């Protein structure tokens, strides 16, 4: 069974992690033969996401299983970019991951960890310029929902993480499962 880990932290954007979580959980339920397990991972078991939303993670950075898909959520990322425990954990998790992904400003954290170095990437429209300034070797793409470059996938802001996650369901399983998942979620997938 594949392991999908969604990394969250204090001030993570709620839909950045809840949207992808719903996609992967719904797809697994529809599939019938549970192809993956999806979990939330954070430094401490409980974090306060945006709007002081309390979230209990399944695992901490120290005790999660080896990941096949590493997804880093966005949000108020300044603290996370300077958190060496988080950055070191991401580097370790990336060693086993088939896919290294981010939603929104999670791209900043992946770049800070050295996991995005020269790839084509995207982020929230409001943060495009800053990402290019901070990480000039990245090739920033605008006006797209997600960008796939090798085994790296980055998505634009917030709800674009749902589109990217449906794309990953298609990559990991099938287009039919991705389409059925979007339909079950009553979501218009911008594939």
Q: Per-residue pLDDT tens for 6-36?
A: 999 999 999 999 999 999 999 999 988 889 9
Number of Cβ within a 10 Å radius of residue 177: 19
Question: What pLDDT is recorded for position 27?
Answer: 96
Question: What pLDDT is recorded for position 33?
Answer: 80
Using CA atoms, how far apart are residues 42 and 8, in angstroms rounded to an integer? 5
Number of Cβ within a 10 Å radius of residue 92: 14
Q: How far is the CA of 73 from the CAs of 35, 80, 121, 156, in angstroms? A: 22, 11, 15, 11
Using CA atoms, how far apart are residues 189 and 111, in angstroms rounded to an integer? 27
Q: Per-residue pLDDT tens for 128-141?
A: 999 999 999 999 99
Question: What pLDDT is recorded for position 191?
Answer: 75
User: In terms of DSSP bridges, do strands 2-7 and 69-72 run parallel, antiparallel, or are they unpaired?
Assistant: parallel
pTM assigned to the model: 0.95
Residue 68: closest CA among 27, 25, 99: 99
> Is the model's pLDDT at 63 over the cut of 90?
yes
Q: Per-residue pLDDT tens for 137-182?
A: 999 999 999 999 999 999 998 899 999 999 999 999 999 999 999 9
Question: What pLDDT is recorded for position 38?
Answer: 97
Query: What's the mean pLDDT in 47-76?
Result: 95
Query: What's the mean pLDDT in 51-68?
Result: 95
Question: What pLDDT is recorded for position 34?
Answer: 86
Question: What pLDDT is recorded for position 96?
Answer: 93
Residue 26: closest CA among 191, 182, 189, 187: 182
Question: What pLDDT is recorded for position 18?
Answer: 97
> Is the model's pLDDT at 112 over the cut of 90?
yes
Task: Check if the beta carbon of residue 91 is closer than 8 Å to that of residue 113.
Answer: yes
Task: Check if the beta carbon of residue 10 is closer than 8 Å to that of residue 82.
Answer: no
How large a percentage of the chain has pLDDT more than 90? 94
Q: Per-residue pLDDT tens for 78-110?
A: 889 999 999 999 999 999 999 999 999 999 999
Question: What pLDDT is recorded for position 46?
Answer: 96
Using CA atoms, how far apart are residues 88 and 97, in angstroms rounded to an integer? 15
């Amino acid at each position: 069974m594949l392991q999908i880990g969604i990394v969250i932290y204090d001030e993570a954007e709620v839909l950045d992690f809840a949207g992808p979580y719903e996609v992967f959980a719904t797809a697994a339920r529809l599939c019938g033969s549970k192809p993956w397990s999806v979990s939330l991972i954070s430094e401490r078991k409980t974090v306060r996401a945006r709007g002081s939303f309390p979230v209990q993670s399944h695992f901490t950075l120290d005790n999660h299983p080896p990941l096949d898909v590493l997804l880093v959520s966005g949000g108020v990322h300044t603290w996370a970019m300077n958190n060496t425990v988080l950055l070191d954990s991401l580097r370790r998790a990336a060693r086993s991951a088939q896919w290294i992904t981010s939603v929104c400003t999670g791209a900043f954290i992946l770049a800070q960890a050295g996991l995005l170095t020269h790839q084509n990437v995207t982020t929230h429209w409001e943060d495009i310029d800053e990402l290019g300034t901070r990480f000039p070797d990245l090739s920033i793409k605008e006006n797209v929902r997600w960008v796939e470059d090798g085994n790296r996938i980055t998505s634009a802001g917030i709800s674009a993480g749902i589109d990217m996650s449906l794309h990953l369901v298609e990559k990991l399983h099938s287009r039919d499962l991705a389409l059925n998942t979007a339909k079950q979620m009553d979501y218009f997938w911008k594939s």
